[in-house]
Copies of this chain bind each other. A is one copy, B any other.
Amino acid sequence: MNSRQDQPTYPTALGASSLHTITLLGQDLADDVMGKVGFGELAFWLATQRRPTTGEVRVFEAVLAALADHGFTPTAIVTRLTYLSAPDSIQGALAAGLLGGGSRFLGVTEDTGKFLHTVLAGIEGELPTAHSDWDKVALEVVQNRRAENAFVPGLGHHVHKQGDPRTPRLMQIATEEGLFGPHLALFAAIGRVHPQVLGKTLPLNGAGVCGAALADLGLPLQLLRGFALLARTAGLIGQLAEELHRPVGNDIFLSVDLHNESVDPEPYPYSS
């Protein structure tokens, strides 16, 4: 409770309104935000309560573009099937798709950002500046993960085996904007050194580089998955718009239902 007994108040710097004005983030919504602040810029501002620079917006929007839509992912299929089944509820179709944004498909962004951050937080003294120093840090990181028999988040891709085109592009954009920070530097170093530990070359994937870039932008680490979900919301609206004009949901449903194979129940083994 944060005020007199029985009646807490609820502080917020987000939206507020009175008879004649609406404010958002302390700004006059109509005069200072509408028509003046882009949507990516606003999303960044809402998440950090500070207005981003033009360069930060460019990197941030590049990340959102990279994550917006990946074709017929489970989340896209889910949104289309839910719309097929409940066309009266657009909010339900979008929410259902977002619920697939968990550890496996959309989680890499968050996992990579957090992983890199933990490594950086453990470095005593100043952070490296030279490539060769970053490489030493990265080498130890990869060796440790290997010793723990654990993956390095952000490394490897099932399609782009020879390199994910988003990765060098996002690094280039961050560099152009002077925002190639320690998370990206460490991630890049991991890309350089891991073959000498793992004995094979894996690509730094796009979801991972996005996590590194978002962390370098100072966005809240606990919410990195949230930005992937924001990007995906735009993508899922695109999936719904396409479903309206070029429907495939019913075909997907039938391709499963017509190939069901009825089998006998088989009591599951007790877990114990």
Contacts and interface: CB of A to CB of B under 8 A. Distances in A.
Contact of A81 (B14, B74, B159): B74
Contact of A19 (B34, B161, B240): B161
Contacts of A263: 11-13, 246
Interface in A216-239: 218, 220-223, 225-227, 229-231, 233-235, 237-239
A185 B8 CA distance: 44
Interface residue tally on A, bucketed by range: 35 or more
Contacts of A132: none
A8 B268 contact: no
A92 interface: yes
Given A34-B65, A86-B103, A95-B95, 4 more contacts: A48-B241, A50-B265, A87-B102, A87-B103
Given A34-B173, A98-B91, A220-B241, A7 B6 contact: yes
A203 to B, nearest CB: 11
Contact of A11 (B7, B103, B248, B268): B248
Contacts of A233: 229-230, 233
Interface stretch (A23-31, A138-146, A148-156, A194-202): A23-31
A121 interface: yes
A58 interface: yes
7 contacts: A1-B251, A7-B259, A29-B66, A47-B237, A95-B99, A96-B99, A218-B272
Max chain B Cβ within 10 angstroms of own Cβ: one of A162, A244, A259:
A259
Q: 9 smallest A-B Cβ distances: which pairs?
A: A86-B102, A46-B238, A85-B100, A50-B267, A39-B40, A95-B95, A43-B234, A30-B169, A49-B265
A267 B49 contact: yes
B165 A30 contact: yes
A101 interface: yes
Contacts of A71: 12, 14-17, 257, 260
A38 interface: yes
A242 interface: yes
Contact of A82 (B99, B229, B268): B99
Contact of A39 (B64, B225, B237): B64
